[in-house]
Amino acid sequence: MSEWTPIIGLEVHAEMLTRSKMFSACPVVDSVEAAPNTAVDPLSLGMPGTLPVINQLAMEYGLMVGLALNCEIPPFNQFARKSYFYPDLPKGYQISQYQYPLAVNGYIDITLENGDIKRIGITRAHMEEDTGKLTHVGHGASLVDYNRAGVPLLEIVSEPDIRSSAEAEAYARKLRAILQYLGVNHGDMSKGILRFEANVSVMHKDDKGFRTRTEIKNLNSIRSMVRAIDYEIARQIKLYESGDTVKPATLGWDEQNGKILIQRYKERADEYRYFPEPDLPIVEMQPEYVESVRQKLPELPDAKKARFMDVLGLSEYDARQLVAEQAIAHFYEDVLAAGADAKSAANWILVSLFSLFNKEGVDRETVNDTPISAANLAELVKLVDSGTINKGTGEKVLSMMWQTGDSPQAIVEREGLAQVSDEAVIGAEVDKVLAANAGLVDRFLAGEQKLFGALVGKVMGAFKGRANAQVVNKILQDKINERKS
Ligand code: ADP
Ligand code: MG
């Protein structure tokens, strides 16, 4: 066991998918696709004399997240000015929340590798506005795009309860799934719509309290976050073990070279000079309103998992895999709605479809855009469950469905793949195999039990794998028994 325990807290910034910005009617556009500075208005540009108005839907989305994260919703929240000077922030301050956030004291339950559940505390979630985007073009010049300035942003801060990069990954995936289930954020980290920052320190086994933390920014994927956290834990341990100290710093992750870059040391705490935003009212959260929003929440991953286990009889593991991504959970439900058996459908998705996706490099989130529709997968499941084709043929049909987009029924008919269960037909083939392999039969009868499998294989081979394996086994057994007597 190492003498050091990692201590990790995550800060997550999630844009809320509203049509207009946090404090004005300016439209929100795709930050990657839209031409720079095409979705701006006097407010996004921080023009003097402009006045903000709170986006009610953004507040409701934030409230939904707070409730989904099991937070308390204080009776009121308040916006505050967070002052700092940087070209991505034209007003010279960001409207955020400070003393009175929208949501506090929540948690997310994550499942550890050994199957145990661990609760990670959520300190707070508060609403704010996003900043513009800077692109550094060299020669001391930077370009600024204010399309993103003023987009509603929810900051979700965890307690320092996370103890490994694997736990951080589980937390990040769960939080991302919850946001997707709620429909408030589509979880695209590459576009910066969802951003993770990891605060990392390490604790020696003799320590009584936490040590200095560093903060890693620029994490463009969950995979990068995991790599960066592991790198940073190792860096800090090495510093301490060589008698050095860790200095508070903001770090960046260089994905290409797989290493941490020190962006700036923090000699003292940032001075943001927070004060209540004088241009906005305090926001009261009436209990009836909060309850009405709670009632409208969709079924979230934990509840869906419990239902899949209790009502459909799935194992904990299968249920967890199916709910982990909203797109897969919905696809599975569509397959069931098309009449497939719950356990068979779970098996086909988690084993066969996922291995096909892995082989083809398909992102599970795009399950609805592949050639295999939920209706067709349901039909395949039914063809196998009813014995029209056997499992092995089903796998072949699945890959043909992938290539052609055709329905399994059409493929089975076209390729003549229907399973042969006719006892007379199978019996005739068994007779031929027994006659042609008299030596094997004698050795089997003399006690070499495992040769039975070889004989089954020869019969299946004669049918190109399409015979009903149960019928083949039974007839073969019967006919060999006849020879014994
Ligand atoms: P700041 O504004 O300085 O970023 P926040 O309160 O927004 O502060 O976030 C602090 C984050 O750092 C939280 O996620 C918290 O859990 C985490 N944290 C606090 N202390 C430590 C520590 N010693 N090691 C690792 N993470 C920590
Ligand atoms: Mg921070």
CA torsion, points 462, 466, 470, 476, in degrees to nearest 10?
-10
Ligand 1 atom at minimum distance from 210 CA:
23
Q: Which two tokens stand for residue 293?
A: 């929003």
* Domain topology for 423-484: Arc Repressor Mutant, subunit A (1.10.10)
**Distance in angstroms (rounded) separating the CA atoms of residues 29 and 39:** 7
Q: How far is the CA of 460 from the centre of ligand 2 (A)?
A: 64
Query: Could you tell me the distance, in angstroms and rounded to a whole number, from the CA of residue 81 to the centre of ligand 2?
Result: 16
Q: How far apart are CA 353 and CA 465, in angstroms?
A: 21
394 close to ligand 1 (CB < 6 Angstrom): no
Mind listing the pLDDT tens digit of every residue in the chain (485 residues)? 589 999 999 999 999 999 999 999 999 999 889 999 999 999 999 999 999 999 999 999 999 999 999 999 999 999 999 999 999 999 999 999 999 999 999 999 999 988 899 999 999 999 999 999 999 998 889 999 999 999 999 999 999 999 999 999 999 999 999 999 999 999 999 899 999 999 999 999 999 999 999 999 989 899 999 999 999 999 999 999 999 999 999 999 999 999 999 998 988 777 899 999 999 999 999 999 999 999 999 999 999 999 999 999 999 999 999 999 999 999 999 999 999 999 999 999 999 999 999 999 999 999 999 999 999 999 999 999 998 998 999 999 999 999 999 999 999 999 888 888 899 999 999 999 999 998 999 999 888 989 999 999 999 999 888 888 889 999 999 998 887 76
21 CA distance to ligand 1 middle (Å): 28
Give me the residue label for tokens 């469950």. 385
| Distances in whole angstroms, Cα of residue 38 to Cα of each of 15, 20, 48, 148, 482 | 19, 14, 20, 10, 84
C-alpha closest to that of 377 among 355, 397, 357, 403: 397
Tell me the CA–centroid distance for residue 84 and ligand 1, in Å. 20
User: How far apart (Å, rounded) are the C-alpha atoms in residues 65 and 324?
Assistant: 17
CB 37 within 8 A of CB 26: no
> Which residue puts its alpha carbon closest to atom 13 of ligand 1?
9
Half-sphere exposure (CA, 13 Å, Cβ side) for 336?
Answer: 14
Residue 213 in contact with ligand 1 by CB distance below 6 A:
yes
pTM: 0.90
Dist. CA 191–CA 92, nearest whole Å: 25
Domain boundaries, the chain: 4-292, 299-415, 423-484
Ligand 1 and 201: CB distance under 6 A: yes
Using the mean position of ligand 1's atoms as its centre, give its distance from the Cα of residue 199 in Å. 6
Return residues with CB closer than 5 A to ligand 2 (ion).
Answer: 11
